[in-house]
Amino acid sequence: MTERFDGYGVVVTGAARGIGEATARRFAAEGAGVLIADLDGVAASRTAAAIRADGGRAEAVRCDVAERASVDAAIARAVDVFGTLDVLVNNAYSCGEHHDDFTLESDEEWQRDLDVTLSGAMRCSRAALPHLMNAPRRRGAIVNIGSVNGLSYFGNHSYSAAKAGLVSLTRTLAVHAAPDGVRVNLVAPGTIRTPAWAGREEILTKAAGSYPLGRIGEPTDIAAAVAFLASRDAAWITGVTLPVDGGILNSNSGFTDALAAE
């Protein structure tokens, strides 16, 4: 594989498992030094060790994106270890329980989802931007991990609101950072096979039939899109939301199934 990120320093939040882990592995495989930042410091260390065992460069840090001091320390660690910070991937999120009855939403669930998913991305971007603006050859980039939930209805009110806010933050930061050569984009995944679905595999099997491409996504599908948007291959792309969703945003299987049942 071509090492598009040779010499890069990359921070991926929520990188101990799932999409974050696959993304960190992709960057490391293409030559980057990757900081595995995760609330679960033990799991982060385990992932970083696995990447090093495969010949990549990776370090781990426990990071709570809901706390400014924790975020600032993680970004500083990346710069110290790798000597540069070129890419930030805002992947950490919180997703509370879905309530069919919106009146059951608690202030605590709502606030937690927004504080981690949306405000966490803000904190990380705020800390990283001064370094990204100094990245050589104007290669600084932020890639936010959104969701189809932020673009259409798939349940989980607070999580969806946070992901929708991340779409807006992507656009405004893209314009703000463009004069300094920093690009900001967002990948919006559909249903992805991650540890969050552990014990509920039958739901994934059922969900696959709703996707035009006939399957749910894998973490590597998202990692590939993130790597593209962070690379110089996307040098003239900023402020975009890229659905990586197996076509589900273009389908209306419920409506067509209802017609077929007539």
Structure tokens, 11: 């921070």
State the amino acid at position 15 in one-letter form.
A
Supply angle C-alpha 153, 155, 161, rounded to 5.
75
Q: Angle 157-177/119-132 helices, nearest 10 degrees?
A: 20
> Which residue among 8, 93, 153, 159 is the active-site one?
159
Q: Supply 55's token pair.
A: 């010949």
Distance separating alpha carbons of residues 134 and 170, to the nearest angstrom = 20
Pick from 99, 77, 102, 95: nearest CA to 11: 77
Asked if residues 48 and 74 have their Cβ atoms less than 8 Å apart, the reply is: no
User: Which residues partner with 243 through β-bridges?
Assistant: 188
Distance in angstroms (rounded) separating the CA atoms of residues 154 and 14:
22
Which is it for strands 241-244 and 87-90: parallel, antiparallel or unpaired?
A: unpaired
Give the residue ranges of DSSP H helices in 83-210: 107-113, 119-132, 157-177, 201-208
93: annotated active-site residue? no
Task: Report the distance separating Cα 70 and Cα 84, nearest Å.
Answer: 19
CA separation (Å) from 71 to 67, 78, 81, 122?
6, 11, 16, 10
| Residues annotated as part of the active site | 159
